[in-house]
Chains A and B, each alone.
Chain A
Amino acid sequence: MMTAFSVERMVNSLFGLLEAFNPIAEPYRRFHEKLPPKMQQTVTAFMFILPFGVLYAIFTILPIFQTFYISLHKWEIMGTNIRYIGLKNFERLLTRDTQFHQAFEQTILFVALTIPIIFVGLFFALMLNRPIKGIGIFRTIFYLPNIIAVTVIGLIWSRVFASSGRGLINAFLENFDAGPIPFLDQGDLATLVVAFTTLWWTVGFSMLIFLAGLQDISQALYDAAEVDGANRRQQFRHITIPGLRRPFAFLCILQVIASFQIFGQVDVMTGGGPAGNTRTIVYNIFETSFLYFQVGYGTAMAVIMFAVLLVISLFQLALFRDQGVGS
């Protein structure tokens, strides 16, 4: 009550200040009151939406159209050399640019390699979903990496896996005259290292979503099953798994979208290397636009990526719609 009271006082003094505008506001108010009710609300609503609308137009709506527009041009980042070339960027991307094809394949590989994160998250959730005192702290521990910046995570794990004796694992192996294992100097290994780092970084999110899902499954179902003589395994198969269908679908879509956008880990840990082996689509866009200054070509890649993500997002929207957005 106390807070509501002081909020009201603050609001009142704010409105007191606004009274200075009365000479302009008063004639408008008289005009406003003569409008039909829906028209009145339309004016009010547009004023409420205006700040959002301006920013949304500048930073989301317009840039989408500009992205398409720029992708039809040879366009250098300084804006000096701009020429309309139609669909040539796309033609080159789709038919001749082997580096882009490689980046696309690499991104798909990352998507495939990071899908297991969901299952590890499920495993963690099941491991921690027990009414034991003190188990809550492990939730915190496993989730904690997820809120830390990619530069920190990437630094730690590139140090753990550094290829020479300057990495933790190889320094450890040196003690036994073993190794060194070229974790980050060999394409396939580097890919696995980046995927594992992503797992360590983000698995806590899946875990928390599954834990929330598990808590939504009614205990009565398990009790009833136990009375009916179902063993733990049967309970898991017929109660837990169907009960987690929604969080599972949700996480799959989110994971695919996130993995398609992998950039930070790659930039920090491998710089796209070795020999372009860990270069993802976003990294390729970044390189093309800011190292080679070919924004036109970079946006063409962004358009292709947008198209792919759009298809995936349509599934996501269907999930949102289930929650009653449509009304």
Chain B
Amino acid sequence: MTFVGADLARKRQLVERRQGSVYVLAVGLFAFIWMLPVIWTVATSFRPEPALQRNLASLLPLPFTTDNWEFILKSSQLWKWLGNSVVVSTTHTLAQLTVCSLAAYAFARLDFYFKRPLYILVLMGLMVPFEATFLPVYLLFSNLKLHNTLIALILPGIASSFAVFLLTQFFRGIPLELEEAAMMDGAGRFRIFLIIIIPLSIPVITALAIFTFLGNWNSYLWPIISATSSEVYTIVIGLRKLNQAWGDVNFYGRDMAAAVFTALPIIIFFFVFQRRIISGIAINSGIK
């Protein structure tokens, strides 16, 4: 049986090697067409406005100019918005990991009164869409006069049911013996949590951190209603406001440069964490 399997595998390999390069070429061509709008966007950001007035439909940045980019890179507004995004998403992510991993430890490891009803209450949060809560939260921040602050962009969503669920599942899988040994040495629960549970959970925590960060960075509905003063725009909202201000007639190339500028940091982020993102997606969507 193994012999037949190996034989089949070899046969398959040979056939696939022969067809491989043609296949990759075909897929490559398709991917190129799929990405044409992106190529066009980047090319357009390097073309001067008069040329864009004459003809938009060019995939080559000709005639070539860096004027649009110089304008964008000199814009203190865009850098400010980028800074806001970094601060908001980083703080939000760190806070969520801290708060949710603490709660998850209790649900995973402690035996306490009301544990089951409380855990069910947390899981019920999985079924609550943002739309069901955002108007009262909006009114709450209005009453506290907290709109147009970064705090308002950071706070909602920190207490994530999904994060608690994911971490609880993972913590349950950590061998109890490790904890018992530490307890013998007189370590308390909080110390065990910090020196045993957290270091052993770095992979799942990293995966969660990446997706929390991405989700917060890209969020749209909440920041567009809460942040109405340009001081506190995130880069995602800032780009939207620029488009509205510039229209699509006069600053076409500049607008496209701003779009690429907005996308670039997250694309760099993606390539840094590429492996973890690709492998973490199944974990983070709760299917595995």
Contacts and interface: CB of A to CB of B under 8 A. Distances in A.
Given A59-B156, A309-B129, A317-B126, A208 B278 contact: yes
Interface in B101-153: 102-103, 105-107, 110-115, 118, 121-123, 125-140, 142-143
Contacts of A145: 38
A56 B122 contact: yes
Interface in B244-288: 248-249, 252, 255-256, 259, 262-263, 266-267, 269-270, 274, 277-278, 281-282, 285-288
Contacts, number: 293
B236 A149 contact: yes
Given A59-B155, A155-B255, A267 B267 contact: no
A130 B23 contact: yes
Interface stretch (B60-68, B69-77, B212-220): B212-220
Interface stretch (A42-50, A92-100, A109-117, A234-242): A42-50
A128 to B, nearest CB: 7
A156 B257 CA distance: 11
Chain A: number of interface residues, binned into ranges: 35 or more
Contacts of B140: 58, 63
Interface of B: 4-5, 8-9, 13, 16, 20, 23-24, 27-28, 31, 34-35, 37-38, 40-41, 55-57, 98-100, 102-103, 105-107, 110-115, 118, 121-123, 125-140, 142-143, 155-159, 161, 164-165, 169, 189, 191, 193-195, 198-199, 214, 217-218, 220-221, 224-225, 235-237, 239-240, 243, 248-249, 252, 255-256, 259, 262-263, 266-267, 269-270, 274, 277-278, 281-282, 285-288
Interface of A: 3-4, 7-8, 11, 14-15, 38-39, 41-42, 44-46, 48-49, 51-53, 55-56, 58-64, 66-67, 70, 77, 79, 127-128, 130-135, 138-145, 147-152, 155-157, 159-160, 162, 165-168, 171-172, 174-175, 200, 205, 208-209, 212, 220, 223, 226-227, 246-247, 250, 254, 257, 261, 263-264, 267-268, 282, 285-286, 289-290, 295, 298-299, 302-303, 305-306, 309-310, 313-314, 316-317, 320, 323-325
